[in-house]
Structure 1
Amino acid sequence: MTKIKPTIHSTYTQAGVDTEKEEKALRLFFKWIQKSFSFRNNIGVPLLNRKYFANVIDIGGSVGLALSTDGVGTKIMIAQMMNKYDTIGIDCVAMNVNDIICVGAEPICMLDYLAVEKIDNHLMEEIAKGLYQGAKIARITIPGGETAQIREMIKGAVGSVGFDLAGLTVGLVPLNQIIIGQNITEGDVIIGFRSSGIHSNGLTLARKIFFNDAGVSIGKYFDELGRTIGEELLEPTHIYVPEIMEVIKSGVRVKALINITSDGFLNLKRVKKTKIGYIISDFPEPQPIFSLIQKFGNVSDEEMYKVFNMGIGFCVIVPNNEIESVKQIARKHNVDAYEIGYTVADPEEKVVIEPKGLIGKGDQFYKMRQNSCKVK
């Protein structure tokens, strides 16, 4: 039996993000929301589990309507500290479309919600520039949205205008081609697509570590990064739509598509297939930002691989004979793709990161004791 040494505490919780409390609250929330399912008979019924990256609605016929919504989170505060707003819209698009492609759907449009402390022409135009650029990469339209002026509710960082930004994305997927991991088998291969950096997750912890605890300035230059910490943290989230849609349309037998966002590599466990485990046997060197976060914050490996993408922003699970096809498409789109692991039969449905001696059970990673790292 594998012995597990539990982590003592979570610095993400100390930073103000308590995922355990969130999950308990969501169960109470969803208890009421799911009652709405009875309001529609056949047409309009959600087909998937609420915990998946996106849901698919039966709209009649052979095509389903895929829906996903997300925001940018506290990366907005980095934009405020930098007084730079022309890329935050890219993050908003990315956070939405990267989720919706996880069901095999092609995103077609996104609605935005922009809440502001007060109307600021320059701010709104810069945000719109990013939304446009994100839409261009993802090949979607932005046919509408909502702007709310709520001065009493939203405040910006010192000297900036407060705002929040979120979106709702719509996609289409043939009902007989929905991908949620239902066909995964033992021996399938996990291919990891390189991230552009921290993306839009874990910024609350990163801000606490660098700016609150270490007292680093937003304009501090790091040799390891080749730029300032503010520029690094504001790097836009990579949009995986072009390469992933080409993988799907090329005829590659895709078993699962996983967006590595909040909960890090525990996201592998969100697929539908049961009694399957995930072994990460080879991991490319993460970008320097992650080692800086770990060093400055004394963050455990267990937490790093749960909170951050660690350099891999998206995973595709395919049969062994499809590896080169996926890598070739990734290269065509100038994205590095790595064979990072494989699936195994496992009633406990663990995620094992062998290079770090980590085992993911339930909603946590644990450090395995020496000589217990390998899982067969």
Structure 2
Amino acid sequence: MNNSHSESYAAAGVDVTAGYEAVNRIKPLVESTYIPGVMGTLGGFGGLFAPDTAGMQKPVLVSGTDGVGTKLKIAFLMDKHDTVGIDCVAMCVNDIICSGAMPMFFLDYLAVGKNVPSRIESIVSGVTEGCRQAGCALIGGETAEMPGFYPEDEYDLAGFSVGLVDEAKMIDGSTLQEGDLLIGLSSNGVHSNGFSLVRKVLGLDNRKALEIRISELGHTLGEELLRPTHIYVRAIRCLRQHGVDVKAVSHITGGGLYENVPRMMKEGLTARIRKASFPVPPIFEIIQRSGDIPQRDMYNTFNMGIGLVIAIPKDQIGHALDILTRAGEQSYVIGDVIKGEAGVELV
């Protein structure tokens, strides 16, 4: 492709040679995510993956797609781009594990106002780090230079992941019953939801505001808000490998506990969650105080410190908590399953 160059396209603001440089920069990053099943290499028209379905009676593909959202505005202001890719991967893989599927591969879509190879390398380094944490391969993607559509220093980042599970081992909440316990796995702060509200109430329209060190946090506001979304793939894998009956899982994203937990409940049952059972990270208290936001709205917008909720039988609670601790997770028994139609009750 060394002889590929268009003066006319360059005059319109699209530098194809910069695109080739970006590909050369990210190629080793992408290849660092390769796992058994990957076919081909970077540069083809489609990402190839041969899944291992040995021992499965009825393999089911589970897919999830998402973006980073307006959290990107914080990355722009901080000029720090190596973590938002983790968010992008996390928002997808954390969704598909709710069905019991383990992610196999990921593809990203990056649209930029101007192709700056070093910045693209930084963004993709986050995507590949997220893939490594999730145990999946980055097998393809697209970088589109769109001058006049995005400002030169801005971009959008989205992606999707595909996972695999045997139908007989899917997690669907069908065996939930009264008395099952709920485990909450700690979040890594705000994750990647509610940033339109965060930016509004904290007045985040310039870098100076983000560089203020806040004693409650122990670091700057910008550092706190750019903490990447936690990836829970290993936690679910470990629980199931050690025989824990994971009956239902909910990824706590936009809409908070109020919207997401009911999605894992079956008709006639409600999740009763005790707010005092887990600590709320200081960032949420700062947001609530700064915007004078009602507590109900906080729990209906943010994860409030719980990024994943899991339902398991009561007699397995000790075993499950021990496994999660050994997997590096901070987890709490946050409630139980009761009869009811509300889907979730926060008490």
Runs of 5+ consecutive residues of structure 1 not aligned to the other structure: 1-59, 355-376
CA shift digits 1:329-367 (9 cap, x unpaired): 211122111000001111x2342111xxxxxxxxxxxxx
Structure 1 residue 97 corresponds to structure 2 residue 88 = no
Q: Conserved in 2, the CA contact under 8 Å of 1:263 and 1:308?
A: yes
SS in 2 for 1:231: helix
1:149 to 138, 145, 150: 145
Q: Conserved in 1, the CA contact under 8 Å of 2:270 and 2:343?
A: yes
Q: Conserved in 1, the CA contact under 8 Å of 2:182 and 2:337?
A: yes
SS in 2 for 1:142: strand
2:296 to 294, 302, 305: 302
Q: Conserved in 1, the CA contact under 8 Å of 2:204 and 2:210?
A: no
1:64 to 60, 65, 73: 60
How far apart are 1:211 and its partner, in Å? 1.7
Q: Which residue of 2 aligns with 1:83?
A: 79
1:218 to 202, 207, 210: 210
Q: Conserved in 2, the CA contact under 8 Å of 1:274 and 1:349?
A: no
How far apart are 1:155 and its partner, in Å? 2.5
SS in 2 for 1:74: helix
How far apart are 1:213 and its partner, in Å? 9.3
The total of aligned residue pairs comes to 290
Q: Which residue of 1 aligns with 2:282?
A: 288
Q: Which residue of 1 aligns with 2:163?
A: 171
1:110 to 82, 89, 106: 106
SS in 2 for 1:186: coil
SS in 1 for 2:321: helix
Q: Which residue of 1 aligns with 2:7?
A: none
Q: Conserved in 2, the CA contact under 8 Å of 1:210 and 1:296?
A: yes
- Please give the alpha-carbon distance, in whole angstroms, between the structure 1 residues aligned to 2:337 and 2:115: 51
2:70 to 50, 67, 74: 74
SS in 1 for 2:333: strand
How far apart are 1:271 and its partner, in Å? 2.0
Percent same amino acid among aligned pairs? 42
Runs of 5+ consecutive residues of structure 2 not aligned to the other structure: 1-55
Structure 1 residue 349 corresponds to structure 2 residue 342 = yes
Q: Conserved in 2, the CA contact under 8 Å of 1:214 and 1:296?
A: no
Point out the more displaced range, 301-310 or 174-183: 174-183
- What is the letter of the counterpart of residue 70 of structure 2? T
Q: Which residue of 2 aligns with 1:180?
A: 172
SS in 2 for 1:291: helix
Q: Conserved in 2, the CA contact under 8 Å of 1:182 and 1:271?
A: no
How far apart are 1:283 and its partner, in Å? 2.6
CA RMSD of aligned residues (A): 1.7
What pairs with 1:106-145 in structure 2 (closer than 5 Å)? 106-145=102-141
SS in 2 for 1:217: helix
- What is the letter of the counterpart of residue 162 of structure 1? E
How high is the TM-score relative to the length of structure 2?
0.81
2:199 to 198, 207, 220: 207
